[in-house]
Structure 1
Amino acid sequence: MDETNTNTDAGTAADGAARVVAAVLAGHQRLRTLLDGLTEAAAHEPSALPGWSRAHVLAHIGGVGSALARQARFAMRGELVEVYDGGRPTRDAAIEAGAKRSADELRHTVTEALTEAEGAFTAVGPRDWERPVRYRDGQVRGVLLCWWRELEIHTADALLGYGPGDWLRDFCAHALDFLAPRAPLETRLTLEATDGPERRAYGSGEPLTVRGRLTDLTAWLAGRAPTGPLDSDPAPLPDLRPWP
């Protein structure tokens, strides 16, 4: 094995993780600022997710932030733990319970989770991103990327003044790659950004091209409402497959 190439690959991966950590920390500060003015009435208004109030979304951010931080923290000890003790039922019950909390309690829950995530991910060294975790039987780097997606998408879902139209191009590029399995079967789906050079093609079969701003393409593939129009040719926008 070429040790020089191995070291270069490790360095490139660490550099990429460092950029994601920086974006995540910026997202933490943004969310803290957005929560400063949260009122009781606003906490329990509808979110962008059907059937979920803003409190549901914030409770989920707090829960998933702590859960993913724990994945990284235990990985640094060489230990594997489940994402949620008790699995999906425990996770869902915690969201429902959290949705009944006051605005101050929700703010505290979220900010505590953000602090926990900051501590966990900034403690990961350049050579530690490949440590194994239980999350998808993957690596710490995958946990970081998951938290980036959860943070960005659910901050937008909370309707606090930050939406899909504010997503950075780097985040959109990552999300489009991650969400590729949502492309419909038997379709050659091509996404073309009208505001930049980005282009993604998924699958094989009947060709279908969807054009729009990069953030709108990303929002659509993520199952969120685009803020601008999408042009679909030669057929209407297709139904998407489940979240990967």
Structure 2
Amino acid sequence: MSLATNSIRKVVPMAQKIAEVAAGHARLAEIVGTLTDDQARADSALPGWSRGHVLTHVANLARALTRQVEYALDGKLVDVYDGGAEGRAAAIEQGAGRPAAALADDVVQSAKELESAWAAVGPDDWARPVKHRDGTVADTVLVRWREVEIHTADLGLTPVRWSPEFRGHLFGFLSPRIPAGVSLVLPDRTLGEGEPVHVTGDLTDIAAWLAGRDYAGELVFSRPIRLGPWP
């Protein structure tokens, strides 16, 4: 198999994933385009965070990931956030109280910058290392996919509509939360290995539960289960 063929196979899956993220960016841009100041100050689904906190985090993460990608293409590693976890928290607090229009502009512009950074990645650059979770440039796309979809839901302004592709990714990413010795039997798949716990309900609701989020419908468990920490 030629190097060119390998490169094409690398590019096509990444292009598909980036398209999913870009669609999430577009949905979020539409939501924040009509956001009012009162809505921005209101509570999100995350304890202690307003919608302004969520949107500031989403924008700051986009710029942090952009920096990860740009440095990786230069063969360098850089911290995700200046000042580490404390710097991240301080920046979110500082930006959360901005007017809705400023929050919306930050979210939209930072997303464009990240998409532009990905557009500069060559076929053989996706495996370059980044410091975020000791991952790769390709992993920054998956990180952004999760963060945009989940935090859009955290805003509580529109119904949660996660694509089958995203649900499948989330089930795989969050399967380490399932306790050892337990298999979680869902309507369309089984996660983990061990004593079965059957879960019935809407697949998006199950994904939201696995992500530690509220869900709209009803889930039925064959026996109680306590999830582990976020992986």
Q: Structure 2: how far apart are the matches of 1:190 and 1:124?
A: 38
Supply the AA of the counterpart residue of 1:209. Answer: H
Task: Name the CA distance, whole Å, in 2 between partners of 1:203 and 1:87.
Answer: 36
Distance 1:5 1:214 in 2: 40
Q: Say whether the 8 Å CA contact 2:126–2:138 is kept in structure 1.
A: yes
Which residue number in structure 1 is paired with residue 192 of structure 2? 202
Equivalent of 2:218 in 222, 229, 235: 229
**Counterpart Cα distance in 1 of 2:203 and 2:11:** 26
1:14 Cα deviation from its structure 2 partner: 2.5
Between stretches 136-145 and 167-176, larger displacement belongs to 136-145
Q: Which amino acid aligns with 1:226?
A: Y
Structure 2 residue 164 is the aligned partner of structure 1 residue 174: no
**Hey, what does 2:85 align to over in structure 1?**
88
Counterpart amino acid of 1:114? A
Q: Can you give the 5+ residue segments of structure 1 that lack an aligned partner in the other structure?
A: 193-197
- Paired AA for residue 52 in structure 1: W
- Select which of 136, 152, 167 maps to 1:139: 136
Query: Residues 162 and 82 of structure 1: is their aligned pair in 2 closer, same or farther, counting only changes over 3 Å?
Result: farther
Q: What is the aligned counterpart of 2:200 among 211, 220, 224?
A: 211
Normalised by the length of structure 2, the TM-score is 0.93
The match for 1:66 among 55, 63, 71 is 63
Deviations 1:191-232 (A, max 9, x none): 22xxxxx3132133x321112222111111111112221121
Alpha-carbon distance in structure 2 between the residues aligned to 1:79 and 1:56: 30
Percent of pairs with identical residues = 46
More displaced stretch, 117-126 vs 82-91: 117-126
Q: Is the 8 A contact 2:56 2:96 kept in 1?
A: yes
**Aligned counterparts of 2:196 and 2:163: Cα–Cα separation in 1:** 28
Q: 5+ unaligned residues in a row in structure 2: which ranges?
A: none
Q: 1:8 to 1:177 in 2, by over 3 A?
A: farther
Alignment CA distance shift 1:122-1:200 (3 Å): farther
* DSSP 3-state at the match of 2:191: strand
Alignment of 1:105-184 (within 5 A): 105-163=102-160, 166-184=161-179
May I ask how many residue pairs the two structures share in their alignment? 231
Q: Which residue of 1 aligns with 2:227?
A: 240
- The aligned counterpart of 1:195 is none
What SS does the aligned partner of 1:242 have? coil
2:52 matched to 1:55?
Answer: yes
Partner SS for 1:228: coil
| TM-align CA RMSD | 1.7
